[in-house]
Amino acid sequence: MYDHYVPFDTDSLKRLFHISRGKKSIDKTKDDIWNELFDFNSCKINKKKKEFNYRIQTDGFAVSVEFVSKQTATFLNARKKYMQECKKRMKGLTKEEKDELRKKQEEEKKARKATQKKKEKKPETGHRLL
């Protein structure tokens, strides 16, 4: 017997149960898919503070249901939308233009790290009078 948990997300459930929703975005149908298969209405979780992360893990006997704070969920959704927008922008570019953009982004990242290091304060030593 194995004591490893297997994760299931929305995409794996769609493939496992042969659920097709046409060409709709997977975000629009997540609630529908999970509600068809599981009853989350009986969960006693503070829904004002926590949100279902559309992911469970199981070893065949026990199940772990993943919840995240509303603040974390908002951050993850914003990051996901940003990444989708970046992919759309990159779609129409040539390989040379993509390489140029990547180099520029790397340079900006290095510059940000350098300024962050300069801003870091050294710990003060000695005593200070109030």
* Half-sphere exposure in the Cβ direction for 60 (13 Å, CA): 4
Domain count, the chain: 1
**pLDDT class for 26, splitting at 50, 70, 90?**
low
Tally Cβ neighbours within 10 Å of residue 90: 12
Closest CA to 54 of 9, 6, 7: 9
Structural domain span for residue 17: 6-69
Determine phi and psi for 46, rounding to 5 degrees: -70, 100
In the chain the first and final C-alpha atoms are separated, in Å, by 64
Tell whether the model's pLDDT for residue 55 goes beyond 60.
yes
| Structure tokens belonging to residue 45 | 């979780």
Flag whether 14 is in a domain.
Answer: yes
| pLDDT for residue 128 | 54
Flag whether 41 is in a domain.
Answer: yes
The residues near 32 (Cβ < 8 Å, ≥ 6 apart) are 21
- Going from the C-alpha of 118 to that of each of 106, 107, 113, the distances in angstroms are 19, 17, 9
Tell whether the model's pLDDT for residue 71 goes beyond 70.
yes
37 vs 20 pLDDT, higher one: 37
